[in-house]
Amino acid sequence: MSNKQARFYESVLANFDRAAAYSGLPSGLLKQIRACNAVYQMRFPVKIGNKYEVIEAYRVQHSHHRLPTKGGIRFSHHVNQEEVMALASLMTYKCAIVDVPFGGAKGGVKVSPRSYSENELERITRRYTTELIRKNFIGPGTDVPAPDYGTGPREMAWILDTYQVLKNGEIDALGCVTGKPVSHGGIAGRTEATGRGVFYGLREIVSYADDMAELGLKPGMKGKTIVIQGLGNVGTYTGSICQKEGGAIIVGVSEIEGTIYNKTGIDIDKLVKFRKKTGSILGFPGTTTLKERNDWVGIECDILIPAALESQIREDNADLVKAKIIGEAANGPVTDVAEDMLSKRGIVVVPDMYLNAGGVTVSYFEWLKNLSHMRFGRLQKRFDQNTYSNIVDIVEKTTGKKITNKEKAMIVRGADEVDLVRSGLEETMINAYKQIREIKKRKKKPITLREAAFLNALQKIASDYMQLGVFP
Ligand code: NAD
């Protein structure tokens, strides 16, 4: 295990302990919240080419205070038990912060997806799912996986299919996994959800003029300069939505192959197409390539967004940061020691457990949709449309004025599933930040946003335990 990965779990525990010290909660309860409740480590054989490979994999359920537990599945050659434990712990706090009624969990399969064919990945995913079923570590009421680094809707569809085959007739089977393709029981707006949530979160944070004045920034997303590390699911949607809906300027992008820069802005949608075609972000028209891949950390900008992996901003490079705000779109990208160094310099770190909670929020909506066996909007869309249409007719009659067909179509439109999902996500991200900010402002001693987010989560989880009668 690399030092970085060992530090990730330690870092999560250190952050927990720091916030727990302010919480005033009994130490027995804090110990229970902090511990991972169940760790399933597995090894299974999969035929790759002419040989069998023994695959190492994990599923960790961090907290059973609410069920089902929930958390993504990561495919990466870096996966190890401590990393999955760290990620599962973060899921518990994340769910509490955005009022998603789940315990935290996470899965990891130690494979590098690029080294396997689609068929091989399918065999690995299906075998992993079978192992989870065997030990009752998956199910709509027990533990519900989702995509994470290295996985997406395709893997979720394989998981669902394996589950349905082995659990024939289970009426809520669709809810055993989220992040599925819409054609397989998924929900419109899930793929973009984490990135869109990052946008809503950052837009809310930069909207407070007094907070921004402390950082020497103007309020509002428009014109803010951003650097992104990782052009995968989270990084792509974050960049594209911040650019298109927020008017931000993406000045730098870093990927495995290197880092590119253009102070007037990089069009993220065009860059994604370019990378698909050429296999690299390097050479994208109008950009210069920086000397080292890791130079993204020191680019002059307002907001730095690590959206790749954990422990990217550490003791050895934190001093290079020139941004005023770091938005943790990835899980655990800033170590606890680095955060101390950044905080001393007045740099605000927006914690992962709040900022990237859009994925689990929309996964919750997907799970609700699966359990209700009906898409959102089906009941009320036409009713709303007819009501708005009648209102417009009455207004036209009483005023004697007609509006254009285009204007009418805009006013009378009923909400589609994706509109409802986005609206629920926006509401969730705004409310959650208001709660965190309020806790931060209320404390006499200055605390970080991460400590405030942790405190918010701890209060809610403690109250759940108390209601269960576990800690009267
Ligand atoms: P992804 O696999 O879609 O994308 C990750 C990208 O990062 C890849 O393109 C990869 O090439 C790039 N990358 C890896 N190492 C890099 C490096 N050293 N420098 C630059 N780029 C590098 O993964 P994702 O789903 O976007 O997840 C990214 C992060 O966000 C992870 O920390 C994950 O846990 C977190 N997250 C994901 C979701 C989700 O819904 N997918 C939800 C919450 C949090």
Flag whether pLDDT at 159 surpasses 60. yes
Atom of ligand 1 at shortest distance to CA of 146? 40
Using CB atoms within 10 A of its CB, is residue 344 exposed (0-12), middle (13-18) or buried (19+)? exposed
With pLDDT > 90 as the criterion, what percentage of the chain qualifies?
Answer: 94
Tokens of 42: 């597995």
- 6 pLDDT band (50/70/90 cuts)? low
Q: What is the pLDDT of residues 363-404, one digit of tens each?
A: 999 999 999 999 998 999 999 999 999 999 999 999 999 999
Q: Which residues line ligand 1 (CB under 6 A)?
A: 72, 147-150, 194, 229-235, 254-256, 307-309, 329-331, 356, 359
Flag whether pLDDT at 189 surpasses 60. yes
Q: How far is CA 103 from CA 353, 391, 448, in A?
A: 13, 45, 24
Q: Which residues pair with 349 in a beta bridge?
A: 326
Atom 17, ligand 1: residue with shortest CA distance: 256
Atom of ligand 1 at shortest distance to CA of 352? 44
Q: Which residues pair with 334 in a beta bridge?
A: 313
Spatial distance between the Cα atoms of 356 and 446, rounded to a whole number of angstroms: 24
Residue 342's pLDDT is what? Answer: 98
If one residue of 78, 94, 233 were mutated to test the ligand 1 pocket, choosing by the most ligand atoms within 8 A of its CB, it would be: 233
Residue 442's pLDDT is what? Answer: 93
Atom of ligand 1 at shortest distance to CA of 294? 19
What are the DSSP E strand ranges found in 278-392?
A: 288-289, 303-306, 325-327, 348-350
Q: Mean pLDDT in the chain?
A: 96
- Which whole number is the average pLDDT over 402-418? 92
Q: How many CB atoms lie within 10 A of CB 42?
A: 17
Residue 468's pLDDT is what? Answer: 77
Atom 29, ligand 1: residue with shortest CA distance: 330
Q: What is the pLDDT of residues 40-72, one digit of tens each?
A: 999 999 999 999 999 999 999 999 999 999 999
Do you find a cis peptide bond into 68, omega within 30 degrees of 0?
yes
Contact 463, 469 (CB under 8 A): no
Atom 24, ligand 1: residue with shortest CA distance: 149
Residue 351's pLDDT is what? Answer: 97
At position 119, the amino acid (one-letter code) is N
Spatial distance between the Cα atoms of 94 and 62, rounded to a whole number of angstroms: 12
Atom 42, ligand 1: residue with shortest CA distance: 359
- 7 pLDDT band (50/70/90 cuts)? confident
Q: How many CB atoms lie within 10 A of CB 245?
A: 13
- 118 pLDDT band (50/70/90 cuts)? very high
Q: How far is CA 52 from CA 42, 47, 79, 120, 430, in A?
A: 16, 4, 20, 11, 49
Strand-pair category, 51-61 with 103-109: antiparallel
**If DSSP codes are grouped into helix, strand and coil, which group holds residue 240?**
helix
If one residue of 234, 260, 352 were mutated to test the ligand 1 pocket, choosing by the most ligand atoms within 8 A of its CB, it would be: 234
Distance 191 CA to ligand 1 centre (A): 13
If one residue of 85, 97, 194, 229 were mutated to test the ligand 1 pocket, choosing by the most ligand atoms within 8 A of its CB, it would be: 194
Tokens of 71: 């958390």
Atom 36, ligand 1: residue with shortest CA distance: 330
Atom 35, ligand 1: residue with shortest CA distance: 330
At position 10, the amino acid (one-letter code) is E
What domains can you pick out in the chain, each with its CATH number?
Answer: 36-184 (3.40.50.10860), 193-355 (3.40.50.720)
- 2 pLDDT band (50/70/90 cuts)? low
Distance 259 CA to ligand 1 centre (A): 15
Distance 246 CA to ligand 1 centre (A): 22
Backbone angles phi, psi at 346, to 5 degrees: 80, 15
Buried b (16+ CB within 10 A) or exposed e, 395-411: eeeeeeeeeeeeebeee
Distance 254 CA to ligand 1 centre (A): 12
Residue ranges in 135-267 assigned as alpha helix (H): 153-166, 193-205, 209-215, 233-244
Spatial distance between the Cα atoms of 434 and 431, rounded to a whole number of angstroms: 5
CA pseudo-torsion sign 359, 362, 367, 373? negative
Distance 234 CA to ligand 1 centre (A): 6
Residue 466's pLDDT is what? Answer: 85
Provide the annotated active-site residues.
106
Contact 265, 290 (CB under 8 A): no
- Which whole number is the average pLDDT over 15-24? 93
Distance 194 CA to ligand 1 centre (A): 11
What are the DSSP E strand ranges found in 329-398?
A: 348-350
- Which whole number is the average pLDDT over 236-262? 98
Atom 38, ligand 1: residue with shortest CA distance: 148
Tokens of 102: 């789940």
Contact 411, 390 (CB under 8 A): no
Atom of ligand 1 at shortest distance to CA of 74? 34
Q: What angle (nearest 5°) sits at the alpha carbon of residue 443, between those of residues 440 and 447?
A: 55
If one residue of 309, 352, 361, 428 were mutated to test the ligand 1 pocket, choosing by the most ligand atoms within 8 A of its CB, it would be: 309
Strand-pair category, 249-255 with 258-261: antiparallel
- Which whole number is the average pLDDT over 341-369? 97
Spatial distance between the Cα atoms of 185 and 338, rounded to a whole number of angstroms: 41
Residue 3's pLDDT is what? Answer: 56
- 112 pLDDT band (50/70/90 cuts)? very high
Atom of ligand 1 at shortest distance to CA of 235? 26
The Cβ-side half-sphere exposure at 282, using a 13 Å CA radius, reads 10
Atom of ligand 1 at shortest distance to CA of 329? 30
Spatial distance between the Cα atoms of 66 and 72, rounded to a whole number of angstroms: 17
Using CB atoms within 10 A of its CB, is residue 460 exposed (0-12), middle (13-18) or buried (19+)? middle
Atom 34, ligand 1: residue with shortest CA distance: 331
Residue 469's pLDDT is what? Answer: 74
Contact 249, 264 (CB under 8 A): yes
Run of H or E including 129: helix 118-134
Q: What is the pLDDT of residues 414-472, one digit of tens each?
A: 899 999 999 999 999 999 999 999 999 998 889 999 999 999 999 999 999 988 776 65
Distance 235 CA to ligand 1 centre (A): 7
Contact 263, 227 (CB under 8 A): no
Distance 44 CA to ligand 1 centre (A): 26
Residue 270's pLDDT is what? Answer: 98
Distance 245 CA to ligand 1 centre (A): 22
Atom 32, ligand 1: residue with shortest CA distance: 330
Atom of ligand 1 at shortest distance to CA of 193? 40
